[in-house]
């Protein structure tokens, strides 16, 4: 059990950190900016740069990393989160790429064309075979590309989360709260709902937790890992509120979920037999789906664990796939120019082209706007895939009596994506009495709308993960 907790929502583009200082304190995002408050003060860029221009590699983070461009001696690592959560292929028999090339029919044809002596070809083949042992794994098998990427990302994560910890502790030192030892507060981390079994047992979650520990973060003793869709639902529905009965370690759920249909069901289960929140979060790497269901079966709830059920999944489909779709339809020069955008420029491009429907103009690159049919087609293609996933998810989830729809993530700011999600979410008999989303739109008749601010829309998972809702010893 932990009275206090940090929660890290590690995102492909940005990482958010929330803090619950006490059992009944609101969960709040850590702000690391200057005197003037802006939305971007509440998240940390996840881009990591490795600068090899000097005698030793130097890692760079934050705003400086966002402004760097990759070259022969500067590595810019964006969207590396997905490497942690890859499913590695089994180790393959040791056939190095060079060895395969030298033994291919294409190479023999090329050698004959340029009259390379057969003895020279044989010597090259023997040399490549001898070199196999220098980089193959034990037992004569080579690790898969995914395994190598996962190992590299795990190493990168240690440096990144050490930097995040330094930033967080520096920000906490400026908080008005006195007497707290922030460096001793444990951390919980959110992970995609990829794979089967408890989230903490999955390889990506294990690698992430190990990196946090190496970076100096003490892990939460009971629940160090929660899934992103579930924590996002809790963050949005509670707004970060925590409530514990005075003198008793008992959670007051009525105060935490005081402004929604869930309380209606909790107070009158005989007339309102079930409740569900459907969460759709479109991020850079994944689209996260969750159906959080409360079914009291007409009775007052004594065991919340038994009454609350969660169906959730994450699929590797997000805004980076939209980037790839746009880039694949461009001429080589434009595609290269788009790929060379700095992190800061990439965010501007996404906002202007995807969210606002405007054109993006800079030397060597002219994209977007009302007349750019290729960009429209790319957005429509990704929207169709997201809608298909949402519809299939709803088909497996029977409607509840009272339902809320929660749309979050950077992708929900793209009109075509959010419209596709709303249409798909309303299939298979599902309807909603309230919608939470980071945009203002006239709702269907009888539906309420809670317009989420940018902090909640993008930081909901961190806020929810820091909720006392996940500290079950308080029930």
Annotate 126-153 with three-state secondary structure.
HHHHHHHHHHCECCCEECCHHHHHHHHH
Cβ neighbour number for residue 95 with a 10 Å cutoff: 12
Is residue 39 pLDDT above 80, yes or no? Answer: no
pLDDT of residue 138: 46
Q: Are 341 and 349 in contact (CB under 8 A)?
A: yes
8 A C-beta contact, residue 6 and residue 186: yes
Whether the per-residue pLDDT at 407 is higher than 90: the answer is yes
> What's phi and psi for 445, nearest 5 deg?
-55, 130
pLDDT for 35 equals 56
What pLDDT, on a 0 to 100 scale, did the predictor assign at position 332?
86
Provide the β-strand partners of residue 227.
Answer: 191
Q: Is 256 helix (H, G, I), strand (E, B) or coil?
A: helix
Which residues are paired to 35 by β-bridges? none
How far is it, in rounded angstroms, from Cα 420 to Cα 423?
5
Structure tokens at 377: 């087609």
Please provide the size of the chain in residues: 475
Strands ordered across the beta sheet of 74-77 = 58-60, 48-51, 74-77
Give the span between the Cα atoms of 353 and 350, in whole angstroms: 5
> Residues 142, 136: contact at Cβ < 8 Å?
yes
Judged against a pLDDT cut of 80, whether residue 408 lies above it is answered with yes
**Burial class of residue 294, CB neighbours in 10 A (0-12, 13-18, 19+):** buried
Q: What pLDDT, on the 0 to 100 scale, is given for residue 156?
A: 93
pLDDT score at 305 = 56
Q: What beta strand segments (E) does 251-316 contain?
A: 275-282, 287-294, 308-315
Q: What is the arithmetic mean of pLDDT over 24-44?
A: 79
User: How large is the average pLDDT for residues 458-462?
Assistant: 93
pLDDT range class, residue 387, cuts 50, 70, 90: very high
Which of 77-86, 155-164, 193-202 is the most confident on average? Answer: 155-164
Please say whether the beta carbons of 33 and 54 come within 8 A.
no
CA atoms of 18 and 221, how far apart (whole Å): 18
Lowest mean pLDDT among 98-102, 159-163, 193-197, 356-360: 98-102
The token pair at 217 is: 């973060």
b/e 102-141 (16+ beta carbons within 10 angstroms → b): beeeebeeebeeeeeeeeebeebbeebeeeeeeebeeeee
Residue 185 has pLDDT above 50, yes or no: yes
Bridge-partner residues for 92, per DSSP?
142
Task: Dump pLDDT digits (tens) for 368-381.
Answer: 888 889 899 999 99
Question: Residues 201-219, buried b or exposed e (16+ Cβ, 10 A)?
Answer: ebebbbbbbebbeebebeb
Task: Confirm if 19 and 466 have CB atoms less than 8 A apart.
Answer: yes
Q: Would you state the pLDDT for residue 356? A: 92
Handedness of CA 170, 173, 174, 177 (dihedral sign): positive
Torsion of CA 396, 398, 400, 406, to 10 degrees: 20
pLDDT tens column, 53-62: 989 989 999 9
| Reported pTM | 0.84
As a whole number, the mean pLDDT across the chain is: 85
Scanning 67-215, the segments in alpha helix (DSSP H) are 81-84, 97-102, 105-113, 118-135, 145-172, 203-214
Decide if 354 contacts 414 (C-beta within 8 A): yes
Report the sign of the C-alpha dihedral through residues 113, 116, 122, 125, in that order. negative
Distance CA 151, CA 184 (A): 28
Tell me the per-residue pLDDT of 324-348, one tens digit each, with 9 for 90 and over: 999 998 888 888 888 888 888 998 9
Q: Residue 45: helix, strand or coil by DSSP?
A: strand
CA angle 367, 416, 459 (to 5 degrees): 95
Taking the C-alpha atoms of residue 241 and residue 243, their distance in angstroms, rounded to an integer, is: 7
Does 16 score more than 80 pLDDT?
Answer: yes
Is the distance from CB of 323 to CB of 295 less than 8 angstroms? no
Burial class (CB in 10 A: 0-12, 13-18, 19+), 386: buried
């Amino acid at each position: 059990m932990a009275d206090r907790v940090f929660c890290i929502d590690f995102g492909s583009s940005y990482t958010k950190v929330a803090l619950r200082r006490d059992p009944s304190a609101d969960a709040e995002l850590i702000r690391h900016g200057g005197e003037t408050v802006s939305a971007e003060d509440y998240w940390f860029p996840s881009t990591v740069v490795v600068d090899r221009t000097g005698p030793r590699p130097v890692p760079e983070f934050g705003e400086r990393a966002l402004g760097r461009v990759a070259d022969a001696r500067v590595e810019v690592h964006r969207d590396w989160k997905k490497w942690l959560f890859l499913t590695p292929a089994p180790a393959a028999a040791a056939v190095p790429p060079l060895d395969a090339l030298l033994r291919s029919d294409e190479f023999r044809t090329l050698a004959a064309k340029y009259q390379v002596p057969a003895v020279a070809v044989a010597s090259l083949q023997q040399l490549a075979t001898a070199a196999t042992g220098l980089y193959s794994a034990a037992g004569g098998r080579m690790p898969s590309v995914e395994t190598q990427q996962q190992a590299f990302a795990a190493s990168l994560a240690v440096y990144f989360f050490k930097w995040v910890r330094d930033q967080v502790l520096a920000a906490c030192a400026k908080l008005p709260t006195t007497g707290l030892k922030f460096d001793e507060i444990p951390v919980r981390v959110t992970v995609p709902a990829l794979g089967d079994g408890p989230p903490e047992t999955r390889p990506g979650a294990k690698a992430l937790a190990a990196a946090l520990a190496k970076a100096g973060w003490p892990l939460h003793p009971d629940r160090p890992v929660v899934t992103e869709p579930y924590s996002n639902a809790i963050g949005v529905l509670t707004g970060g509120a925590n409530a514990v009965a005075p003198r008793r370690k008992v959670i007051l759920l009525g105060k935490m979920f005081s402004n929604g249909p869930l309380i209606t069901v909790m107070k009158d289960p005989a007339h309102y037999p079930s409740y569900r929140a459907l969460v759709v979060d479109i991020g850079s790497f994944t689209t996260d789906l969750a159906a959080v269901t409360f079914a009291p079966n007409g009775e007052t709830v004594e065991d919340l664990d038994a009454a609350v059920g969660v169906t959730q999944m994450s699929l590797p489909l997000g805004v980076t796939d939209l980037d790839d779709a746009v880039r694949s339809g461009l001429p080589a020069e434009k595609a290269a120019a788009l790929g060379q955008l700095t992190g800061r420029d990439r965010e501007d491009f996404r906002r202007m082209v995807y969210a606002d429907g405007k054109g993006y103009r800079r030397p060597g690159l002219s994209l977007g706007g009302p007349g750019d049919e290729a960009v429209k087609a790319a957005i429509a293609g990704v929207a169709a895939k997201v809608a298909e996933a949402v519809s299939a998810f709803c088909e497996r989830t029977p409607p509840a009596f009272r339902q809320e729809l929660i749309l979050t993530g950077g992708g929900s700011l793209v009109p075509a994506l959010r419209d596709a999600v709303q249409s798909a979410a309303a299939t298979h008999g599902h309807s909603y009495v309230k919608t939470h989303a980071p945009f203002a739109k006239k709702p269907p008749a009888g539906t309420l709308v809670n317009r989420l601010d940018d902090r909640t829309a993008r930081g909901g998972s961190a806020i929810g993960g820091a909720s006392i809702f996940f500290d079950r010893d308080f029930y």
